[in-house]
Structure formats: C-alpha cells, structure tokens
Structure 1
Amino acid sequence: MRPTNIDDIVGQQHLVGPGKIIRRMVQAKMLSSMILYGPPGTGKTSIASAIAGSTHYAFRMLNAATDSKKDLQIVAEEAKMSGSVILLLDEIHRLDKTKQDFLLPHLESGRIILIGATTENPYISINPAIRSRTQIFEVKPLDEAAIKIGIKRALQDEKNGLGKLPVNLKPRAETFLAQATNGDLRSALNGLELAVKSTATKADKITITLPIIEECIQRKALRNDKNGDAHYDVISAFQKSIRGSDANAALHYMGRLIEGGDLTSIIRRLLVIAYEDVGLGNPQACARTVAAVTAAEKIGLPEARIPLADVVIDLALSPKSNSGITAIDAALADIRAGKSGEIPAYLRDAHYKGAAKLNRGVGYKFPHDYPSDWVKQRYLPKQLSQATYYQPKTNGKYEKALASQYQRLLKAQRES
C-alpha cells in the first residue's frame, strides 16, 4: 500500500498538502536532501516513495545500521549513470563516520538526494555535518480520520490491498482500529490484514467485528452498553478525578484508557489538566508532566504506564489553581466584546526612523533604570486601566507568593 504519488500520501498535510513545503519542492522539481523524523508507521518511507514516484527519479532504500559502505557505493555509481537517485536511508541516526564521510560529497553535488528517516530527535542524534546539509521535517502521528482513509484504501485496492476479498468491516471495529493504533498506519494495516486473513468466510462475506480487531491488535476497546460515548466519558471522569484530588479514581480511569491503547488521549489530557487544573498551584508539577509525557511518547506502551502513573498521582495530590485559564478567558471576553482601546503611545514600537515624530515610544520609562527594576507606568489601554483579569488563589506556596507580589504591585500602580 506504499504510495507512489504525493497525492496518495495519507496524513502529513502540513508537509504535502496544497502549498506546503514538500509538495512545492516536488512541483518545482527542486528537491533537496531532508530528514524526516517521527514515530513509527506515520509515513516517513511513504513520503520518500511518493517523492520518487512524483518526480520519476530512481528510488533506493538502505538502512544506516545494517547496510555497508559498499551498498552506498553501488547507489553512488547508479547516480553517476542516471543523473540523480533518491536514497531513503532508514535509521539515519545510526550512520557511522565512514559512511557519513562517503555520503557528504554526493549530497553536495546533488547526485544523491538523501531522505533520512528516524524516530529520534535529529537535533540530538544526528551528526551536525549531515544535519547542516539537509532540511529537517517532523512527521506527526496520524489522526483517526487519516487512519480511516488508509483502511478504506486497503479494502478497496485490488492490486496491493484486500480489494479482491469480500470484507465487511463493521463500523465499531473500524473506529477502534483507527483509534487504538495510536496514529500508526502500519500497525492498523497489519492488524486489518491479520483479521481478514484469519477470519473464515461466511455467507460470502468476511465479517470483521470489534472482538476480532481487539484480538488481532491485542487491545481492548472501552465498553458502553448504551450510547457509545464511553471513550469521552472515561476521559471526562479522568480529568475530573484529578481535579477532585482522587488519585485512586484517576489511576482507575487512566487504566481503562491504557487498556484501550489510547496513549494519545492520555498524553493530551494530562497536559491540559496540568495547566488548567493545577497550574500556578504547583508549576513544578506542570513541568514534571511535560517530562513524563515526553518519556511516555518515547518508550510507548506498555512501559509508558510507569511515568504516566507517577504524574497522575503527582497532579491529583497537588494544590489546585485554575486562575490562569480564568484570567485569559476574562481578557478574551473583554476583547471579544470590543473592549480594546489604543495601546499607549509610549509602549508602541519605536525601532524605525521617524517613530519619534509620531510620538512612538516617547516618554517610555525603562523599568531596569529604576530601583527594584520597577516604575509606575500605565500599560493597559486607558479605557481598561482598571481591568483586573488575574484573580490569584492561595492553595499552593508558589501562587501564594505570586498573589502577595501581585497585590503589592497593583496597589502601587493604582495609587494616585
């Protein structure tokens, strides 16, 4: 099911959609070497294959870890004969110095157009000499809609897919397959193929139900015997349990999401919870949440449950504060109601010739020139000079200190 044309790529529209960078490169026939990095099964090889198919260049695939310098030499000789070759080099972060030194002149000459693929952060794991000669593009996990497109194509394609078989994929099975594979189209197609080829034909149909998909991808779907909204109900209960400081309930609901293989929803929800419900009550817990979900993304399930469990307990037992979201929503409410006003002239940009003639920046007091690096000065538009959006809470030590500083500065600013 590997695409042979850029129009056939599933997902990654930020790179291959209309007017986006890789599509523009293909259309202009101005290809440059690049590194694609992101999780497995998200389209790195597919993009390379589609670029080659769309430009009619020869396309070769090698692995930086297992293929030798001699294999690279064969590709280089072919490039001399044909003009240019697109080389997909998988696991490029494992390219040793000997192979790298061989490749560099061929990249500079343009004879080899390198497309490196890696699941590692290229800014950390790839040698600067290679990195400086390539464009770096992040490939992101596919969303549910994109996975479903890939599934439908596989069911309809008679040559490369399952189109010749009388498959009846039930809607709930399709949705679960798209959700539970965590943005990995390869895993979804592997699960689909196993399900179809291991299921007997009955009444001239190969009927693929939810239990069959669960067994083939080794994930369990969330159950709901009434309205089919179990997935969102569990996520809602998960956040509300953390907000309510019940660590045991939060672990239970996260366990349901883990059992359903829904790592993406867990990560997204934890980041929201950290800043919406804990926020300034315990900013260190917010930072620890970012670190934990980053680790979880790197190691994947089932081991991802370990850092996630730690941070769920941390968030549930942290002091809570929603003062941040309340403050920005209050500011947005004024803006949307038309309460904006003019920015004071002394705060406007003065970094251009003639700004002073327009009174831009004139009279601005530079706080660092004053004791304690503060000076009384109006920053809000005049019409909103008395507006107060931030209403501090004092559940945690950090925000309690912020509240004291905030009230002191507010009082000093408003004293006549």
Structure 2
Amino acid sequence: MKKQPLAYRMRPKKIEEIIGQQHLISKGKLLHRMVKANHLSSMILYGPPGTGKTSIATAIAGSTDTHYKLLNAVVHNKKDMEIVVEEAKMSGKLILILDEVHRLDKGKQDFLLPFLEKGLLTLIGATTANPYHAINPAIRSRCQIFELHPLQPEDIKEAILRAVHDQSDGLGTYNVDIDEDALNHLAIACGGDVRTALNALELAVLSSKESDGKITIDLKTAEECIQKKSFTHDKNGDGHYDVLSAFQKSIRGSDVDAALHYLGRLIEVGDLTSISRRLLVTAYEDIGLANPQAGPRALAAIEVAERVGFPEARIPLANTVIELCLSPKSNSAYKALDHALADIRKGHTGEIPSHLKDAHYQGAKDLGRGVDYKYPHDYEHGWVKQQYLPDRLKNKTYYQPKTTGKFEQALSEIYNKLK
C-alpha cells in the first residue's frame, strides 16, 4: 500500500493534467499562456476547499523549467523562507507555492516583498479566503488574482475514473470495478470537493474484499465511505455572504423557488440569526411602502421562529419568505432618505425657516422665532400650505413614489396633490 493519500498522489503534475477550471487553464486563457510562454508572474489562487488550488499551483510550476518549493504560511517560519530565498539566489529564480497565504504575518511578508519585487521569487499563493478581504494589499497588489470554482460532477467523475485506472499513482493495481450508481453518488455527495471524493474512493477500495480477481464498489459501499457534503458554507467566509446575497436578491426578484432554496441552505447550517436579520432588512428595503405590513409580519414570524427553534422554525420562515417574494416591491422610502442624506453630506442644507424654529422660551418672538407659523390642526383637513425646507432647498423633491402596491398608490396621490 502506498503511504501518501490517493488525493495527494493524484495531484496533476502538468497543466494538461488539471481537471476542471477551464476558465483559467484552457487554451488561450491567461494561465495557459503564461505557462506556455514559460513566464509566470506572481499570483493568488483562491476558492473553496477541494477545488485544486495547491494542485494547480504545483502543476503550473511543474510545467515550467523553474525549480519550486511548497510552504505553508502558518506551519513554516521565517527561517524556512530564508532557506528558500538562498536556494533562489543559487538557481537565479524560484517559484514559491505558499498555502494559506492569507495567514502570512507581517514579519514574513516584509521579508518576502523585496524578493518578489526583484523577481527572484515568483509567488503562487493558495487560499480559501477572498484575497480582497483577507490578504494584505502589499502582497495582493503584486499578484494576479484567479478564482477557482467548485468542480462539477462530471469533473469529479473524470478524477475518480482516472484514479481507478492509474497504475502508478492511483488504484490501477487493485483492478477496481465501480458501478455507475456508486460513481454518481461520490461525484455528487462530495459537493465539488475532489479531495473528499478521492478519499472516499480510497477508503472504499482498501476496506473491500477482492472477489473473482477484482474489487467491486457498489452504491452501498460508496454511501458508507463518504460523509455527504451537500454544499460549502463557511459562516465567516465568502460562501456565507454569497448565500445571503442570493437570498435577498431572489426575494427582491420575486422568485419564490430560488428564495426557498437559499433559505434552505441557511436553515441547513442552523443560521437563524442571519436569516432573521436578512428578512427584516428585505421587508423594509425591498417591500417597503408597497406593503407596509410586511415588516411587522416578518418580525412576528421571526419571533415565533426564535421561540420554537429548529426544525419547527422553518415553518413561519417559509411563510414569510413566500409572502415577501410575492408582495409588491418598493424602495422609494429609503431611496428618498438617501437623496436627502446625499444633499446634507454635500453641504446643501441652509438655514431653518424662522417660523419653524423653537419658540418655547422667553424672547423667542423678539428674535422672530415661530412667528407666522401656521398650525395645521387649525385648518380644514389638517393641512395648510407653508414652507418647511430651507430657502436654498425649498423646491427640492426627494420622494419619488412608486405605484407597485395599493398603499403606496394612495400615498402617491396624496403626495402629488400636496405638491
């Protein structure tokens, strides 16, 4: 039995062996052109676990005639990096593949920067964290950024079958026969993580007995050997905020099925706090005056959800999501406020009209405060025409009513009449 895990042994050694990520490595793409020109620039590869960041990094480096070293920003210290730099000085150039590059501390970073500047080192960083959030600008500005996507089931199948038949690094010497159902299950259950799929395959092969000169992997064995990983969701990472963004945008776009899908993802990880906050924001940001009861009703549903907890909490949440999706939409209220705030921040304010100023003190009248103020309740219909905005803004209009809901239609009629 080989000592290294199957997933490690099956890492591609040349760019042509990389599975998936065709948006980066197919012919004509920048990464492919850089390798073929044998002229790499520093880069950062980022994406979810198991998408092949380190594998692609080693394959890229292995496709050139430049020596490379693989380090980890957490495990390896500054002394290890000094050794790499000395090797680079001896060879004239070296590629440094740095796992978890977002964890590079200031001391290591300050040490490496001059050698990146001189071109003595070419950095290929690998990280699961969005480099625009997690990596120091001094490093990031010197690197090309490439995002890796989760592999599709067909890509995973290709990796599995390659491992099954590979005689040198794979499982070809075991004469493995994997049936279609087992292959499909591994490809889907791994959630786009090829490492998970290959680890499960290796466990299945090594834990199965040979019969008639071969090892057969059926669906039952595959199910036992893989821990189902339906999707990647890190509460502190991009995946979390991407799901929340898609959740709100699906409600805003009135797509009930999509909104329920993303709600399901958030429920699956038990994130009631994020669900609650996003529903309340959506009720006021996107439904707004088109259906003013959406906010209070969403809050009531959230309070029920918090009181009963999961799994029952999903019931009021589902009701609220469907109602918000199918409600008329309006963002006119907060947009009106944003326009007013924009004026204020630009210095467009002006003096408050004297008749609106506080007159509840002795001598206010002598200063002209509150004089000529017309008390609306003293007039028919509780309204009287008078100026409220400062002189320099007196003709300004901020509120642009929409007519997507009956409530705001009524508000619009009143607003236009008063104007």
Both structures adopt the same fold (TM-score exceeding 0.5): yes
- Cα deviation for residue 392 of structure 1 reads 4.2
Work out whether residues 153 and 188 of structure 2, in 8 Å CA contact, stay in contact via their aligned partners in 1. yes
- Change in Cα spacing, 1:407 to 1:140, as seen in structure 2 (3 Å) is farther
Q: 1:166 and 2:175 equivalent?
A: yes
Alpha-carbon distance in 2 for matches of 1:103, 1:159? 37
Q: 1:372 and 2:381 equivalent?
A: no
- Cα deviation for residue 7 of structure 1 reads 1.2
- Change in Cα spacing, 1:76 to 1:206, as seen in structure 2 (3 Å) is same
Q: 1:38 and 2:47 equivalent?
A: yes
Per-residue CA deviation, residues 52-76 of structure 1 (Å, 9 max, x unaligned), is 1211211211111111111111111
Alpha-carbon distance in 1 for matches of 2:154, 2:160? 10
Work out whether residues 97 and 124 of structure 2, in 8 Å CA contact, stay in contact via their aligned partners in 1. yes
Work out whether residues 279 and 321 of structure 1, in 8 Å CA contact, stay in contact via their aligned partners in 2. yes
Decide which of 76, 84, 89 is 1:75's aligned counterpart.
Answer: 84
Q: Which secondary structure state, in structure 1, belongs to the residue aligned with residue 28 of structure 2?
A: coil
Q: Find the counterpart in structure 2 of residue 307 from structure 1.
A: 271
- Change in Cα spacing, 1:99 to 1:201, as seen in structure 2 (3 Å) is same
Work out whether residues 328 and 405 of structure 2, in 8 Å CA contact, stay in contact via their aligned partners in 1. no
- Change in Cα spacing, 1:372 to 1:146, as seen in structure 2 (3 Å) is same
- Change in Cα spacing, 1:56 to 1:172, as seen in structure 2 (3 Å) is same
Q: Find the counterpart in structure 1 of residue 252 from structure 2.
A: 279
Normalised by the size of structure 2, how large is the TM-score?
A: 0.61
- Change in Cα spacing, 1:316 to 1:110, as seen in structure 2 (3 Å) is farther
- Change in Cα spacing, 1:52 to 1:324, as seen in structure 2 (3 Å) is farther
User: Unmatched 5+ residue regions in structure 1?
Assistant: 220-260, 297-302, 326-367, 376-389, 395-399
Q: Find the counterpart in structure 1 of residue 146 from structure 2.
A: 137
Decide which of 205, 210, 231 is 1:263's aligned counterpart.
Answer: 231
Per-residue CA deviation, residues 156-192 of structure 1 (Å, 9 max, x unaligned), is 1111101121111111111110111111101111110
Alpha-carbon distance in 2 for matches of 1:404, 1:206? 73
Q: Find the counterpart in structure 2 of residue 104 from structure 1.
A: 113
Q: Find the counterpart in structure 2 of residue 234 from structure 1.
A: none
- Cα deviation for residue 45 of structure 1 reads 0.7
The structure number with the bigger radius of gyration is 2
- Change in Cα spacing, 1:106 to 1:165, as seen in structure 2 (3 Å) is same
Alpha-carbon distance in 1 for matches of 2:103, 2:68? 21
Q: Find the counterpart in structure 2 of residue 11 from structure 1.
A: 20
Work out whether residues 131 and 140 of structure 2, in 8 Å CA contact, stay in contact via their aligned partners in 1. yes
Decide which of 63, 68, 77 is 2:72's aligned counterpart.
Answer: 63
Q: Find the counterpart in structure 2 of residue 249 from structure 1.
A: none
- Kindly provide the amino acid, as one letter, of the partner of residue 140 in structure 2: R
Alignment of 1:3-402 (within 5 A): 3-219=12-228, 261-263=229-231, 275-276=249-250, 278-279=251-252, 305-307=269-271, 311=275, 314-318=317-321, 319-322=323-326, 372=397, 392=404, 401=408
Moved more, 316-325 or 47-56: 316-325
User: Unmatched 5+ residue regions in structure 2?
Assistant: 1-9, 234-238, 276-313, 330-392
- Change in Cα spacing, 1:264 to 1:120, as seen in structure 2 (3 Å) is closer
Alpha-carbon distance in 2 for matches of 1:74, 1:139? 30
- Cα deviation for residue 119 of structure 1 reads 1.1
- Change in Cα spacing, 1:210 to 1:118, as seen in structure 2 (3 Å) is same
- Cα deviation for residue 282 of structure 1 reads 11
Alpha-carbon distance in 1 for matches of 2:32, 2:328? 40
Q: Which secondary structure state, in structure 1, belongs to the residue aligned with residue 174 of structure 2?
A: coil
Q: Which secondary structure state, in structure 2, belongs to the residue aligned with residue 39 of structure 1?
A: coil
Per-residue CA deviation, residues 345-388 of structure 1 (Å, 9 max, x unaligned), is xxxxxxxxxxxxxxxxxxxxxxx9x853799xxxxxxxxxxxxx
- Cα deviation for residue 30 of structure 1 reads 2.5
- Change in Cα spacing, 1:140 to 1:214, as seen in structure 2 (3 Å) is same
Alpha-carbon distance in 1 for matches of 2:220, 2:412? 57
- Cα deviation for residue 3 of structure 1 reads 0.7
- Kindly provide the amino acid, as one letter, of the partner of residue 262 in structure 1: S
Q: Which secondary structure state, in structure 1, belongs to the residue aligned with residue 44 of structure 2?
A: strand
Per-residue CA deviation, residues 60-118 of structure 1 (Å, 9 max, x unaligned), is 11111111111111111111111221111111111111111110011111111111111
Alpha-carbon distance in 2 for matches of 1:181, 1:121? 22
- Kindly provide the amino acid, as one letter, of the partner of residue 70 in structure 1: K
- Cα deviation for residue 12 of structure 1 reads 1.1
